[in-house]
Structure 1
Amino acid sequence: MAQVTLSDVARTAGVSLATASRVLNGSSRVPGKAISQRVMQAAEKLGYVPNASAQALARSSSGLLGVVIQDLEDPYFSAVAAGFQEAAGGQGQLVLMAQTSRDADLTIVALGGLNAQRVDGVLMVGSLDLSAEQRAVFGDQLARVEARGGQVVTVGQSYGIGRTVYPADREGGRAIGQAAIAGGYRRFALLDDVTRAPSAVDRAAGFAAAIEESGGRIEYDVPAPVTAAGGRVAGDALVRHLEEHPGGPMCFFAMTDAVAVAAMGRALHAGIRVPDELGVVGFDGIAAGRDIAPSLTTFDLPLRDIGRRAFELVHHPEDADLPETWEVREDTITIPGRLWQGGSTMH
Structure 2
Amino acid sequence: MRKPRSRATRGAPTLADVAARAGVSPATASRVLHQSTRRVGQQHRERVLRAARELDYRPDLSAQAIARGTAPVLALLVSSIDDPYFSAIAEGVARSAQRHGVIVTIALTGRDTARELTSLRTILGQRPRAVLVGGSRTVGSPHADALVAELRTLADSGGRAVFIGRPADGLPAVRPANLGGARALGAAVAGLGYRRAVVVTGSGRLETVRERTDGLGRGLAANGGRIIAVESDAFDRGGGYRATRRLLRSGGLGAADVLCAGNDFMAVGAMTALRDGGLRPGHDIAVTGFNDIETAADVTPRLTTVHFPLAEIGARAAALALAPGPLHGEDVLVPGLVRVRDSCPDRSAGRPHDPPPPG
Tell me, yes or no, whether TM beats 0.5: yes
* Residue in 2 that maps onto 1:335: 334
Residues 191 and 223, structure 2, Cα contact 8 Å, conserved in 1? no
Change (3 A) 1:240 1:132: closer
Q: Distance in 1 between matches of 2:253 and 2:343?
A: 21
Offset at residue 205 of structure 1 (A): 0.6
Q: Distance in 2 between matches of 1:307 and 1:113?
A: 22
Q: Distance in 2 between matches of 1:49 and 1:77?
A: 30
Please state if 1:271 is matched with 2:270. Answer: no
Choose the corresponding residue for 1:154, options 157, 163, 174. 163
Offset at residue 51 of structure 1 (A): 5.0
Letter matched to residue 217 of structure 1:
R
Question: Matched residue of 1:123: which SS?
Answer: strand
Choose the corresponding residue for 1:286, options 258, 276, 293. 293
* Residue in 1 that maps onto 2:313: 306
Residues 83-114 of structure 1 deviation map (CA, whole Å, 9 limit, x = unaligned): 11122223332101011000101110111111
* Residue in 2 that maps onto 1:234: 243
Offset at residue 298 of structure 1 (A): 0.5
Offset at residue 207 of structure 1 (A): 1.0
* Residue in 2 that maps onto 1:72: 81
Q: Distance in 2 between matches of 1:2 and 1:131?
A: 57
Q: Distance in 1 between matches of 2:57 and 2:101?
A: 23
Offset at residue 180 of structure 1 (A): 1.6
* 1:115-154 correspondence runs (5 A): 115-131=124-140, 133-154=142-163
Change (3 A) 1:124 1:49: closer
Residues 135 and 159, structure 1, Cα contact 8 Å, conserved in 2? no
Letter matched to residue 137 of structure 1:
A
* Residue in 1 that maps onto 2:111: 102
Measured on the aligned residues, the alpha-carbon RMSD in Å equals 3.6
* Residue in 1 that maps onto 2:355: none
More displaced 10-residue stretch of structure 1: 82-91 or 301-310:
82-91
Q: Which sections of structure 2, spanning at least 5 residues, go unmatched?
A: 1-7, 17-29, 37-55, 347-359
Residues 88 and 94, structure 1, Cα contact 8 Å, conserved in 2? yes
Change (3 A) 1:251 1:274: same
Q: Distance in 2 between matches of 1:132 and 1:279?
A: 35
Question: Matched residue of 2:128: which SS?
Answer: coil
Q: Distance in 2 between matches of 1:122 and 1:74?
A: 20
Tell me the TM-score normalised to structure 1 length.
Answer: 0.79
Question: Matched residue of 1:292: which SS?
Answer: coil
Question: Matched residue of 2:143: which SS?
Answer: helix
Q: Which sections of structure 1, spanning at least 5 residues, go unmatched?
A: 10-22, 29-46, 321-328
Choose the corresponding residue for 2:268, options 261, 267, 272. 261
Letter matched to residue 268 of structure 1:
R
Change (3 A) 1:319 1:104: closer
Offset at residue 81 of structure 1 (A): 0.8
Letter matched to residue 336 of structure 1:
P
